[in-house]
């Protein structure tokens, strides 16, 4: 399934176009996301779509690309948020220290979680990840600096100063573009990783784990690496969320946040590169629109979700790709 064989078989032009887009998927994604603030009615919801999309991208690596359903990813999102939050609000450190520190903290936590969880699989894996994330929730809740259920306030990054450029983070459009730059870098890194031999190993394991092991792939190591990378991306999303809202809520570590990212990935399309952003946009916008009409919006969101599971299991983006790509 590469461009060369498609040419030999006389592939139709749209296929070539999609292959082109696929090989430049980061650029394509960023271009679409650039248009978002003008489509979405509300600036802070656009930033939320970006943040939760990135969170979904991180989770997708483990769920969509590796087939491991984790119910504890809120731990990585939350630890990233709290780490960045504490460094900014209480240590007064600048964003360019807080963001990498958050990624590192989340990755380390993912390593610890992964070491404990990798030996289980299926529903047991989901339960272990849930349990470990609940332990993290509990520990952070008790930790005095986190503010407990009052949350961590004061994560105030008023502006971002780069050589020659000053970005005012009180302006929603400027915030969106600044965050988009960070997200673009993260997507670029991820894309490179997926195209590397490591990415090949990931796909081989997803297709058939026993065969991959027989071929000599180190299955446990690959799973662990994917888990750590996933954790780091989710931590970055959490850190961005903390800066956007100037606030970290204890709910960011709760299993409902873990459930949220599962929904987003399913709605968008598991195992697709751009799917999580579509899922995040769909979920957040539906939630917003429905909650303006009725207080019982959860009924419609739940029904919509069931509808997708029954009829569009590949999610919106996954189905679109399938129909147009003939994957």
Partner 1 sequence: MDGITPQLIGLQLFTGLALGAVYVLLAVGLSLIFGMLTVVNFAHGAFFMVGAYAGYALYRIVPNFWLCLVLVPVVVGLFGMLVERTLVRPLYGRGVDYPLLLTFGLAYVMIETVRIVFGKQGMPVDAPALLEGSANILVGKFPLYRLFVIGVTVALLIGLWLFIEKTSFGLIVRAGARDPQIVRILGIDVGRVWLIVFGLGTGVAGLAGFLAAPVQGISPEMGGSVLTVAFVVTVVGGMGSLVGAVVAGILIGIVESMAVLFVPEAAKVSMFVIMVLVLLVRPQGLFGRAGLMN
Partner 2 sequence: MTYLALLAGAACIACASAPCAAAGMPPAPIRIGLPVPLTGPYGAEAQDQVRNATLAVREFNDSGGLDGRKAELLVRDDRLNPAEAATRALELIDKDHVHFIVGSLSAATQLAVNNVIRQRKVPYISISQSDAINEAADFSRYTFHESLNPHMTAQAVGRYVFRKGMRVAFLTADYAYGQEMTRGFTRVAREVGAQVVGEIRHPLGAVDYSPFLPRLMAMHPDVLVFNNFGRDNQISIKQAAEFGMKDDMKFVVPVLTYTSRVAAGARVYDGVVGGSGYYWGIESTTPSARVLNERYRRAYDGGLPSDYGSMAYSAVKSLLMAVKAAGSSDAEKVVDALANERYDTYKGMQFYRACDHQSVQSVLVIQSKAAPPGSRDLFTVLHVAPASTGALRSCAELGHKLPH
**Which residue ranges make up the site for partner 2 (CB under 8 A)?**
41-45, 48, 148-151, 153-156, 158, 170, 172, 241, 245-247, 249-252, 291, 295, 297-298
Of 124, 161, 208, 251, which lies in the binding site for partner 1, with binding defined by CB under 8 A?
A: 124
- The answer to whether 60 contacts partner 1 (rule: CB under 8 A) is no
Distance CA 163, CA 144 (A): 37
- The answer to whether 253 contacts partner 1 (rule: CB under 8 A) is no
Shortest CB 283 distance to partner 2, Å: 13
Instruction: Find the helix or strand (DSSP H, E) in which 212 lies.
Output: helix 209-214
Distance CA 190, CA 11 (A): 29
C-beta closer to partner 2: residue 223 or 254: 254
Q: Which stretch binds partner 1 (CB under 8 A): 6-14, 77-85, 259-267, 319-327?
A: 259-267
- The answer to whether 121 contacts partner 1 (rule: CB under 8 A) is yes
Of 84, 132, 157, 212, which lies in the binding site for partner 1, with binding defined by CB under 8 A?
A: 132
Question: If we measure between CA atoms, which residue out of 77, 1, 20 comes closest to residue 276?
Answer: 77
Of 42, 299, 324, 326, which lies in the binding site for partner 1, with binding defined by CB under 8 A?
A: 299
| DSSP string of 238-294, one letter each residue | HHHHHHHHTEE-GGGGSHHHHHHHHHHHHHH-TT-SSHHHHHHHHHHHHHHHHHHH-
**258 contact, one of partner 2, partner 1, none, CB 5-8 Å limit per kind:** none
Shortest CB 92 distance to partner 1, Å: 30
Beta strands in the chain (DSSP E): 152-153, 159-162, 165-168, 247-248
**119 contact, one of partner 2, partner 1, none, CB 5-8 Å limit per kind:** partner 1
Given a contact cutoff of 8 angstroms between Cβ atoms, the answer to whether 155 and 246 are in contact is: yes
């Amino acid at each position: 399934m590469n461009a060369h064989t498609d040419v030999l078989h006389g592939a139709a032009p749209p296929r070539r176009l999609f292959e082109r887009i696929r090989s430049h998927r980061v650029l394509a994604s960023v271009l679409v996301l650039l248009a978002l603030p003008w489509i979405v009615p509300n600036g802070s919801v656009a930033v939320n779509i970006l943040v939760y999309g990135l969170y979904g991208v991180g989770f997708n690596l483990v769920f969509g690309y590796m087939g491991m359903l984790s119910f504890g990813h809120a731990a990585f999102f939350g630890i990233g948020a709290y780490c960045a939050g504490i460094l900014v609000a209480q240590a007064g450190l600048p964003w360019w220290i807080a963001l990498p520190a958050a990624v590192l903290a989340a990755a380390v936590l993912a390593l610890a979680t992964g070491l404990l969880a990798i030996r289980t699989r299926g529903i047991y894996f989901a339960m272990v990840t849930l349990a470990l994330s609940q332990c993290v929730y509990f520990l952070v809740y008790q930790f005095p600096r986190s503010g407990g259920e009052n949350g961590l306030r004061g994560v105030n990054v008023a502006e971002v100063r780069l050589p020659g450029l000053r970005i005012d983070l009180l302006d929603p459009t400027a915030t969106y573009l600044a965050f988009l730059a960070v997200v673009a870098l993260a997507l670029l890194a991820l894309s490179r990783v997926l195209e590397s031999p490591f990415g090949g190993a990931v796909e081989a394991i997803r297709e058939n784990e026993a065969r991959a092991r027989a071929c000599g792939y180190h299955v446990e190591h690959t799973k662990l690496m994917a888990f750590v990378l996933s954790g780091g991306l989710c931590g970055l999303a959490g850190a961005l969320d903390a800066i956007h809202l100037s606030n970290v809520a204890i709910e960011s570590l709760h299993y409902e946040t873990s459930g949220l990212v599962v929904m987003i990935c399913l709605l968008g399309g598991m195992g697709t590169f751009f799917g999580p952003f579509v899922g995040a946009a769909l979920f957040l916008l539906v939630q917003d629109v429905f909650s303006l009409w009725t207080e019982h919006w959860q009924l419609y969101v739940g029904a919509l979700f069931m509808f997708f599971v029954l009829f569009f299991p590949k999610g919106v983006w996954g189905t679109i790709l399938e129909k147009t790509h003939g994957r």
